[in-house]
Every structure is written in C-alpha cells, then in structure tokens.
Chains A and B, each alone.
Chain A
C-alpha cells in the first residue's frame, strides 16, 4: 500500500513539470523607416549620364556634381540602414 502510494505520488507530481512551457511571444519585426516624402523605403537612384552632344566643360561638371550628390545620398541611406539595424537590435535585445 505504502509503495503504491509513493509510486502514484511520484508519478502525479511529475505532471507539474510537464505544464506548457512559458510563452515564447516575441515583438513584431520592426517596420523599416521610410522616406518622409514618398513614404517608401529609400532607394539609391541610378547615376546621371552626360548627353552625347555635350560640348562644354560646365555641362560635364554639372553632371559630375549631381552624381556625387547621388552618391552621398545613397551613402546616407546605407549609413541610415546600419544605424537603424544597430538601434533596432538594441531595442529588440533589451530586457
């Protein structure tokens, strides 16, 4: 009788450890930041071409400066994404 009681008790007590595991709820993956004007994810534009009939320096110079501007804008976006990832990761990993 005593042995049976011990076996039954041990068996039933083991049920406590079989309760469903604690919830594994996670925050949603953060939305990417968007361009304030277009409300879309920022993109790197294609570089501008020099028109084939260009015959003066200033036109070439203008295209070059515009292309540098596009480069820096794209660089700004890449840096922005890196910052976004690092900061969002900090929030995601925070307790």
Chain B
C-alpha cells in the first residue's frame, strides 16, 4: 500500500488548497443530506447516488485534508531543521576559529619557553659566571649558589665527553616506534 500513497499525494502539489477544502465540505454536506435529510422528497429521490457520491467526496476530501495537514507539519519541521543546521554549522565554524587561535597561542608559548631555556643555558655556558650573576636580581646567598652552579656546568661542558653508546640509546628512544603511523 505504502508505495501508492505518494502517487496519490502528488496531487497535493498542483491542486489548490481551496479545491481540497471544497471537496471535503461537499462530501460532508452530501453525506448529511444523503443520510440525515432523506425525508425531504427531492433528496429521497436521489438518495442512493447522493450517498455514494458524497461518501466518495468525503473520503477523498478527508484523505487530502490529512495530506495537507501532514504536509504543513512536514514543511514547518523542515524549515525548523534547516534553520537549526545553519545555526549549528555557523557555531561549529566559529568554534574552529576560536580553537585554532587558542592552539596556535599555546604552541607559540611552548616554543618560546623552550627557546628561552636553551638561550639561558647557552649564556651560562659561554658567559662569565661572575658577570652573569651580577646581572640577575638575587640575594647574596642565591647569587653564590648560582655562580657555583654555572662554574660546575662550564666545567662539565669542557671536560665531559658524551659516550657514543649513550647517544645511540637516546636516539633509539627518540625514534618513532615500529608500527606507529608517520604523520
């Protein structure tokens, strides 16, 4: 049955609404006349044809009235969903812009922090410990401690050799694990 429904309902698309209302009203009036007003002589003469035709009209009218009501509901819901989709897509786009900017900001802060640490240690290694601690606002105790640490670092930089085996193992740990996807 279902596949045939749309075949009949396509009529809704070209029949003006008032025609459907007229069919329905004619069906209702005809049914009342055929079944209730049978005592009137003129009607009683054509009682059966009136009953048959009005029932057909009433049925068709009811059918299409139902279709009209359903179509109106369908259209309203469709419009609501369309508006909702447009709103959601706009919100999703705005969110992407916001997240992209926030991520870029965090990325920049992370890179900046790494650069600063490298620059600081580079300065400790290459500079004069006494001069460096003079430029930093510290208590005497803290200054003495930092100077000692810098001297220790400079000594390690000059004297400590890095074993090649250690480099190999560090690099092995930094390698992308087997099976891990390459970006």
Interface residues of A (CB under 8 A from B): 1, 5, 8-9, 12-13, 15-16, 18-20, 22-23, 25-28, 30-37, 42-52, 54-62, 65-69, 72-73, 76-77, 80, 83-84, 87-88, 91-92, 94-95
Contacts and interface: CB of A to CB of B under 8 A. Distances in A.
Interface in B81-99: 81-82, 84-85, 88-89, 91-93, 95-97, 99
B104 interface: yes
Contact of B99 (A33, A50, A55, A57): A33
Given A9-B62, A12-B62, A48 B174 contact: yes
A62 B88 CA distance: 46
Interface in B27-68: 51, 55, 58-60, 62-63, 66-67
A76 B106 contact: yes
Interface of B: 1-2, 5-6, 8-9, 51, 55, 58-60, 62-63, 66-67, 69-71, 73-74, 77-78, 81-82, 84-85, 88-89, 91-93, 95-97, 99-104, 106-107, 110-111, 113-114, 117-118, 121-122, 125, 153, 156-157, 160-162, 164, 167-168, 170-171, 174-176, 182-183
5 contacts: A19-B5, A36-B101, A50-B174, A52-B164, A91-B95
B110 A88 contact: no
Contact of B67 (A19, A36, A77): A19
B110 A27 contact: no
B119 to A, nearest CB: 10
The 8 closest A-B pairs by CB, nearest first: A16-B66, A69-B114, A43-B183, A30-B92, A47-B174, A19-B70, A33-B96, A27-B88
Contacts of A34: 96, 100
A69 B82 contact: no
Given A28-B85, A55-B162, 15 more contacts: A15-B67, A19-B9, A22-B77, A23-B74, A28-B89, A30-B89, A30-B92, A35-B104, A50-B170, A52-B168, A57-B160, A59-B162, A68-B114, A69-B110, A76-B103
A12 B63 contact: yes
Nearest to A11: B59
A88 B59 contact: no
Contact of A65 (B77, B81, B96, B118): B118
Given A1-B51, A23-B74, A76 B121 contact: no
A16 B63 contact: yes
B174 A5 contact: no
A18 B1 contact: yes
